[in-house]
């Protein structure tokens, strides 16, 4: 059985290019006692993977050159030497970008019942949705009537964060990178206002116009000049959740930006980073709440599915360029 | 009765100079019903006042050109039309930089019993000590065995913050701007390690050497390149309290610095600004605890007293240049 894998061919200089990845074939090992063999159905494509392609500190060690790229996925159990999983089970698992994986049986999470569509288990009911849920609700504690700004608002996490803020009764202002995205978050994600940062010259003026009562909560997916503008408009007691910094991931050198710590003093504002995995003990409860919002129609999940394992590098590079709306997934 | 006052003569360009201040004489108004007339004994000189000399957002509106400068002080009640204060009472009050003030009787706080020295009511048992107390204990929640870094460590707030961190069982690393200051915080404030940033070329290397287990808590009085270095060495779960940004106060333009929000993500670190006045409901309890530490000898308060009302501008400019150790106070 041949296992196709995407490995890191070279550390990218700026935006990754096709040649930074290599499609290789490996043999699939036999599962040992306690292990399972799974076959990928869908693989998650996430911007933050870019950080592990460079030799910088990240949420996990850098991928070695020649090492396997990737993140989570949905898979089917093919063979099981782990008592609580059986062939045919559908699981969410740390697949990496490969067609097959042999995993410690404790790692995959059986998805039961299967959501409709099944890909929701990677998106709105998976890591993406949980990231929006805890990053917004736990880190920022938004209250009804407050103004919430979301950057990267048309992305996988951003679309969910906007909708959760709306469910909580906030005024939601989204920032995205195309007119199509702006239309989407206004029409489908409940944003009260939104703007295209690529066609806006003065972010501070635009935000001041769209946030007449200032900014109470900022859910930051991008960092960079958008975040700089937000820091100038935060209210007393503002909470800022640092979810991603996609504007920075392709920078070889640390970018310089205006210092803003002074703004935190007189506003008593809090800036906090988070990793979703820290909230694992509360995932089930969060998933149940999100599933309820999906059923009631308060929450919509947009997916952006690319077909074909071999198209992963292109799907990933495009994601870093912002050519997606919603959750990008590759169907294997 | 003539009231000498220090007013803002001109908005400073960079470090204030003598000519940015003017000594003027005003008449002392009669206290109306509910008011008290007080005479200054000691006036507090604080770096943060610099921010209100420029037309920037701060903890209070900018001082108008021609307007009264200043902050808190210790004063004696001369005449009272407020039932709960009597002539002879010693109070802590928002004096500003003047010899006499007529105040709403509810504003001064009677100091009773009088601490020894009485100036402790402005320093370790006043705004300065409370700032260190809440900024460290409330914002950062330091735990025994953690590594706490304090910048501006030989300053009024820094000397107290170092000692409180030590009382809590932390490893304390102080950063200060002269060899004399470094010696002081090592010998008298319980710092386990310290360095002079003015004679250190590589802050990151020095901090990495002095903080072999990384940095759990950072109490930031300075901002700037010192803070930049700290952000590169914070541990998972780090808490960073933004107390002051004295490296930035004299900058006419917002300084640029390396972006660090990414570091907050994988460390899940929190950066929070605070203003001491928000903790007013807990001041009495905090003062009582600090007074206990003073009595037991666990806490020492160094004061730096300048004589003469007319010397306020010089004392303030020197403070911004860092020529003090501990709390600077002018004796009127």
**What end-to-end distance do the CA atoms of chain A give, in Å?**
16
Mean per-residue pLDDT, A274-284: 96
Q: Is residue A139 within 8 Å of residue A283, measured between CB atoms?
A: no
* pLDDT for the residue numbered A252: 86
Distances (CA, A) of A250 to A96, A236, B61, B125: 21, 33, 40, 50
Q: Among residues of chain B, what percentage have pLDDT more than 90?
A: 97
Evaluate if residue B252 carries a pLDDT over 90.
no
Q: Which residues of A touch B141 (CB under 8 A)?
A: none
Beta bridge partners of A150: A174, A219
* Distance from C-alpha of A19 to C-alpha of A31, rounded to nearest angstrom: 32
Distances (CA, A) of A254 to B8, B68, B258, B265: 40, 43, 6, 15
* pLDDT for the residue numbered B274: 97
CB–CB contact B270 A266 (8 Å): no
CB–CB contact B259 A273 (8 Å): no
**In this structure, what token pair is assigned to residue B19?**
């000519």
* For B257, nearest residue in chain A (alpha carbons): A256
Beta bridge partners of B43: B73, B330
Q: Which residues of B touch A278 (CB under 8 A)?
A: 268
**In this structure, what token pair is assigned to residue B281?**
């409901």
**In this structure, what token pair is assigned to residue B305?**
């007293």
Nearest to B261 among A51, A57, A220 (CB): A220
The tens digit of pLDDT for each residue in A225-266 reads 999 999 999 999 999 999 999 999 999 899 999 999 999 999
Chain A residues with at least one Cβ partner in B under 8 Å = 51, 57-59, 220, 223-224, 227, 242-245, 248, 254-259, 261-275, 278
The tens digit of pLDDT for each residue in B113-159 reads 999 999 999 999 999 999 999 999 999 999 999 999 999 999 999 99
CATH superfamily assigned to domain B2-123+301-331:
Medium-chain alcohol dehydrogenases, catalytic domain (3.90.180.10)
Secondary structure of chain A as H, E, C letters = CEEEEEEECCCCCCCCCHHHEEEEEEECCCCCCCEEEEEEEEEECCHHHHHHHCCCCCCCCCCCCCCECCCCEEEEEEEECCCCCCCCCEEEECCCCECEEEEECCCCEECCCCCCCHHHHCCCCCHHHHHHHHHHHHHHCCCCCCEEEEECCCEHHHHHHHHHHHHCCCEEEEEECCHHHHHHHHHHCCCCEEEEHHHCCCHHHHHHHHCCCCEEEEEECCCHHHHHHHHCCEEEEEEEEECCCCCCCCCCCCCEEECCHHHHHHHCCEEEECCHHHHHHHHHHHHHHHHHHHHHCCCCCCEEEEECHHHHHHHHHHHHCCCCCEEEEEEC
CB–CB contact A261 B242 (8 Å): yes
Evaluate if residue A129 carries a pLDDT over 90.
yes
CB–CB contact A275 B254 (8 Å): no
**In this structure, what token pair is assigned to residue B142?**
């330091």
CB–CB contact B223 A261 (8 Å): yes
Is residue B16 packed enough to be buried (19+ CB in 10 Å), middle (13-18) or exposed (0-12)? buried
* Distance from C-alpha of A33 to C-alpha of A36, rounded to nearest angstrom: 8
Task: Locate the domains of chain A by residue range.
Answer: 2-123+302-331, 127-277
State the complex-level ipTM: 0.95
Q: Which residues of A touch B50 (CB under 8 A)?
A: none
Nearest to B272 among A244, A257, A270 (CB): A270
* A266, A275, A277: best to mutate for the B interface, most B CBs within 10 A: A266
* B222, B227, B259: best to mutate for the A interface, most A CBs within 10 A: B259
Mean per-residue pLDDT, B219-241: 98
* A227, A271, A276, A279: best to mutate for the B interface, most B CBs within 10 A: A271
Chain B residues with at least one Cβ partner in A under 8 Å = 51, 57-59, 220, 223-224, 227, 242-245, 248, 254-259, 261-275, 278
Mean per-residue pLDDT, B259-268: 97
* Distance from C-alpha of B148 to C-alpha of B240, rounded to nearest angstrom: 10
Mean per-residue pLDDT, B18-22: 97
Task: Give the minimum alpha-carbon distance from A307 to chain B in angstroms, rounded to a whole number.
Answer: 31
The DSSP 8-state label assigned to residue B48 in this structure reads G
CATH superfamily assigned to domain A2-123+302-331:
Medium-chain alcohol dehydrogenases, catalytic domain (3.90.180.10)
* Distance from C-alpha of B212 to C-alpha of B210, rounded to nearest angstrom: 6
* For B242, nearest residue in chain A (alpha carbons): A265
Q: Among residues of chain B, what percentage have pLDDT more than 70?
A: 100
Question: What angle is formed at CA B86 by the lines to CA B81 and CA B87, rounded to 5 degrees?
Answer: 100
Phi, psi angle pair for A181, to nearest 5°: -65, -40
The tens digit of pLDDT for each residue in B177-190 reads 999 999 999 999 99
Top-level class of domain A127-277: alpha beta
The tens digit of pLDDT for each residue in A47-106 reads 999 999 999 888 889 999 999 999 999 999 999 999 999 999 999 999 999 999 999 999
* For A220, nearest residue in chain B (alpha carbons): B261
Q: Is residue B280 within 8 Å of residue B133, measured between CB atoms?
A: no
Evaluate if residue B51 carries a pLDDT over 90.
yes
CB–CB contact B267 A248 (8 Å): no
Question: What angle is formed at CA A147 by the lines to CA A160 and CA A228, rounded to 5 degrees?
Answer: 85
Taking the CA atoms of A245, A249, A250 and A253 in sequence, report the sign of the dihedral they define.
positive
Q: Which residues of B touch A264 (CB under 8 A)?
A: 242, 271-273
* pLDDT for the residue numbered B1: 80
* pLDDT for the residue numbered B285: 97
Mean per-residue pLDDT, B246-259: 94
Task: Give the minimum alpha-carbon distance from A320 to chain B in angstroms, rounded to a whole number.
Answer: 16
Sheet with strand A171-176: strands edge to edge: A193-196, A171-176, A147-151, A215-220, A234-242, A270-273, B270-273, B234-242, B215-220, B147-151, B171-176, B193-196
Is residue A258 packed enough to be buried (19+ CB in 10 Å), middle (13-18) or exposed (0-12)? middle
Nearest to B257 among A244, A256, A266 (CB): A256
Q: Which residues of B touch A269 (CB under 8 A)?
A: 272-273
* Distance from C-alpha of B274 to C-alpha of A182, rounded to nearest angstrom: 35
CB–CB contact A259 B254 (8 Å): yes
CB–CB contact B57 A266 (8 Å): yes
CB–CB contact A259 B220 (8 Å): no
Nearest to A242 among B57, B254, B265 (CB): B265
Task: Give the minimum alpha-carbon distance from B60 to chain A in angstroms, rounded to a whole number.
Answer: 8
* For A61, nearest residue in chain B (alpha carbons): B266
CB–CB contact A258 B255 (8 Å): yes
Evaluate if residue B103 carries a pLDDT over 90.
yes
The tens digit of pLDDT for each residue in A151-160 reads 999 999 999 9
């Amino acid at each position: 059985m041949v296992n196709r894998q995407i490995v890191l061919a070279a550390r990218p200089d700026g935006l990754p290019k096709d040649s930074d990845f290599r499609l290789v074939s490996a043999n699939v090992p036999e599962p040992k006692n306690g292990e399972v063999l799974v076959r990928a159905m869908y693989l998650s494509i996430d911007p933050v993977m870019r950080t592990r392609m460079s030799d910088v500190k990240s949420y996990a060690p850098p991928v070695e050159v020649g090492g396997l790229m990737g993140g989570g996925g949905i898979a089917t159990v093919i063979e099981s030497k782990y008592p609580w999983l059986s062939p045919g089970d559908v699981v969410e698992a740390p697949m990496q970008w490969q067609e097959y994986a042999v995993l410690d049986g404790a790692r995959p999470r059986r998805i039961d019942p299967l959501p409709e569509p099944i890909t929701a288990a990677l998106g709105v009911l998976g890591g993406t949705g949980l990231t929006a849920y805890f990053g917004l609700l736990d880190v920022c504690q938004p209250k009804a009537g407050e103004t919430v700004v979301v950057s990267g608002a048309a992305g996988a996490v951003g679309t969910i964060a906007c909708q959760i803020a709306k469910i909580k009764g906030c005024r939601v202002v989204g920032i995205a990178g195309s007119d199509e995205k702006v239309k989407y978050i206004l029409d489908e994600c409940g944003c009260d206002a939104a703007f295209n940062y690529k066609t806006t010259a003065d972010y501070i003026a635009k935000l001041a116009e769209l946030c007449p009562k200032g900014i109470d909560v900022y859910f930051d997916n991008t960092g960079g000049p958008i975040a700089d503008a937000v820091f100038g408009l935060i209210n007393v007691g503002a909470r800022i959740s640092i979810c991603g910094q996609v504007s920075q991931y392709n920078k070889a050198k640390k970018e310089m930006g205006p210092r803003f710590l002074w703004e935190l003093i007189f506003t008593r504002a809090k800036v906090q980073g988070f990793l979703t995995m820290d909230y694992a003990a509360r995932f089930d409860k969060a998933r149940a709440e999100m599933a309820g919002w999906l059923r009631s129609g308060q929450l919509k999940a947009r997916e952006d599915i690319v077909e074909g394992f071999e198209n992963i590098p292109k799907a990933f590079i495009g994601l870093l360029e912002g050519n997606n709306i919603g959750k990008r997934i590759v169907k294997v």
